[in-house]
Structure 1
């Protein structure tokens, strides 16, 4: 005989119902008590009139007593029937467990399931969802809202809050370990020198090294113009003690002038020998990185030294901490470059959404498609929130709170039942009296 393991159903944790404001609850309970008293009083009045009429008819032959008794009798029946119907929603009438009473507490789970099915069938219909989204003109309205400066400030502020929230929950040590694992995974088994050589060769073939050389030449030329005092200090330091100061000044000025002239020529002559020499050196470096074993091994040694944990951990930690502090600081500062750029991006996006029909059409199409997909495939899961939530409510508490919220209106049903019953009884008795002669 095989043993079968039986998985017991997961016990769901009860959920508290949404709270009613204490003052509002007090007012509604008072209103319910008042209307319930009125409805009950009307029923009692109808019963008293019926009894009095019944007694009087034994001693008097007054015709009008029949009309009054019929109205009171029918009103009493109508009032009792509606009292039973209203009471049966929330509890057993007279505490007698009559079938199909205390409906809310007894049938709470079934009602939640039916409500979920109703919502899924009538509100999460894919075509209906699509039509509602299209008719709402969401992109245009959202764009008009976003392009207002005060709203862009709010959105950029929320982005700053989101950045802070994300950074606050990230564990620094886990981030450093992730950085270390990623770095090793990417670089451990790769020989970098040939790749660097290929990349450098592509730059040389496309002439993209020229702007870099020009940039360096310009910077060196600018430095040379300001290097006079530095050159004079070097000359003074390295000159013999017997050298006259005038000679030192002339020598320093000559060196400074020659340096400035040479750097200006390098900066303005694309064919200058220094620039050509730099290009030849770059070409040799590209070749060595791809083919020279010593160069390749040297690059690998540098890579291994960089990847050594004791070498990278400090750099990674400082980089991450400084980056994190920078992001926290700039995201919190409304005048930071990050927040200003975020505001500009939000306003630009809002303007495009508000004015461009093409952008509106694209956004609407994608939102509609996504919404239809969700409605088609996940409606049961979405509406299950309703049935699951109702199922986890306490039955007695749910019945009490629902009665507090709608009980006042239900008491008017009782009043109307008494009034309509009385009128109906009077009408029936009148017809019977004059037509049938009863």
Structure 2
């Protein structure tokens, strides 16, 4: 395209010289001469403008030329800011993610037969491990383990232990992620039950309020207020509600360690749980599944971890067929992406900015020119043609007006 634009400029120069020799022969030569002259001016002007973007025309140190190389760092910052404001905002990410069915794509991947195959265990130690597991009496061993665990747990004062663990966790701030998870969960529950909240407010509003439509505004205000409180508690580590919750946790931890009544309630609950036959049956089932799973894993010489592969395949099928599960997975992915954009958006755009800054001026110029250079050469061609048409128009008006 650069050759085409330059060739057109040379063609106009040739027509200008040719038509200049025959101006006296016929008036039409004057129109051709005017067209060629104005086309050269337009082509040269656009050549200068296009060239000045990427380099200095003819190597001359003309001010305000080589714009891209001279402003490389500013362009990098502008590109990064543009990316941050137009692509990495939560609203844009959420809108783009809403049209993607990530769960279905994941389901197709997991349900692929080649995905479930794992590595193979073919060592003599594996055979020995299988023989040991098969030689054990599952009922007897499971019962012994269950009885031993029950005996040891009965000797442990659970309440003070839980209290000390809670106190240490609170002192180290390790309760904060749990608290934030509960706040996020509360927001999700509120979001999923907005219609129920609105209906409750609507039912409790009197007739005049419903007639004027204020009940809907009241419901919206209540929901907005609740969302605002949850958001403030989530982002403000010094929020008063956080302090109240922490005070409650500290009081519970203190009671677990020093309040005999609370300790007795916890002890009774522990003993009732240990005495429940369902707990022994549950442990027996867990042990047998662990034992059977280990045996199957090691014995699967031709397809080790086939159980895992089958589970992945089942999960993939469920992801493809269960619309509710798809909705949950896609919503989780969308909110995760929004969280990443919100939390790490600045680091992402900083990476873009620093990458462009590290490019040398020639690399940046070549990449931008390679992307838009073809269209810029069309500007030169159009400038040549438009300039010629303007020249013909001016020549026509000058012939008829003067």
TM-score between both structures, scaled by the size of structure 1: 0.49
Per the alignment, residue 373 of structure 2 pairs with 407
- Superposed CA RMSD in Å reads 3.5
Q: Return closer, same or farther for 1:375/1:401 CA change in 2, 3 Å cut-off.
A: closer
Kindly provide the CA deviation profile for residues 64-119 of structure 1, in whole angstroms up to 9, marking residues without a partner as x: 12211210111001110111122112210011122221122112221121111112
Q: Name 1:219's counterpart in structure 2.
A: none
| Alignment partner, residue 416 of structure 1 | 382
Taking a change above 3 Å as real, the CA distance of residues 414 and 344 of structure 1, as seen in their structure-2 partners, is same
1:41 paired to 2:7: yes
1:364 corresponds in structure 2 to 330
SS of 1:386's equivalent in the other structure is helix
Does residue 337 of the first structure (1) align with residue 301 of the second (2)?
no
1:77 aligns with 2:41: yes
1:239-272, CA deviations, whole angstroms, 9 ceiling, x for partnerless residues? xxxxxxxxxxxxxxxxxxxxxxxxxxxxxxxxxx
Moved more, 87-96 or 368-377: 368-377
CA distance in 1, matches of 2:323, 2:380: 56
Q: 1:150 to 1:336 in 2, by over 3 A?
A: closer
- For residues 81-230 of structure 1, the aligned pairs below 5 Å read 81-153=45-117, 156=118, 198-199=152-153
After superposition, the C-alpha distances for 1:190-213 in whole angstroms (9 at most, x for unaligned) are: xxxx999534777996689x99xx
Name the SS for the 1:98 alignment partner: coil
1:334–1:346 Cα change, 3 Å: farther
Residue matched to 1:375: 341
Aligned-pair CA distance for 1:401: 4.5
Instruction: Please state whether the residue corresponding to 1:124 is helix, strand or coil.
Output: coil
Q: Given that residues 102 and 333 in structure 2 are in contact (C-alpha distance below 8 angstroms), is that contact kept between their aligned partners in structure 1?
A: no
2:26 aligns with: 62
1:433 to 391, 399, 402: 399
Instruction: Give the whole-Å Cα distance in 2 for the aligned partners of 1:122 and 1:334.
Output: 53
The gaps in structure 1 that reach 5 residues or longer are: 1-34, 161-193, 212-325
CA distance in structure 2 between the partners assigned to 1:347 and 1:66 by the alignment: 81
How far off is 1:368 after superposition? 1.8
Residues 407-427 of structure 1: per-residue CA shift (max 9 Å, x gap): 344333322221222123223
Assess, with a 3 A threshold, how the Cα gap between structure 1 residues 91 and 375 changes in structure 2: closer, same or farther: same
Counterpart-to-counterpart distance in 2, 1:109 and 1:68: 47
Q: Which residue of 1 aligns with 2:211?
A: none
In structure 2, the gaps of 5 or more residues are: 121-147, 156-270, 282-293
Contact 2:150 2:274 in 1 (8 A): no
CA distance in 2, matches of 1:394, 1:334: 56
Bigger Rg over Cα: 1
User: Who is 1:174 aligned against?
Assistant: none
Deviation (angstroms), 1:392: 0.2
Quote the residue 1:355 is aligned against.
321
What does the per-residue CA deviation read over 1:305-353, in whole Å, with 9 as the maximum and x for residues that have no partner? Answer: xxxxxxxxxxxxxxxxxxxxx9xx97xx983432x12311211221221
Within 2, Cα distance between the matches of 1:82 and 1:36? 12
Q: Distance in 2 between matches of 1:206 and 1:364?
A: 40
Q: What is the Cα deviation at residue 387 of structure 1?
A: 1.0
Alpha-carbon shift at residue 360 of structure 1 (Å):
1.6
Count the aligned residue pairs: 244
TM-score by length of 2: 0.53
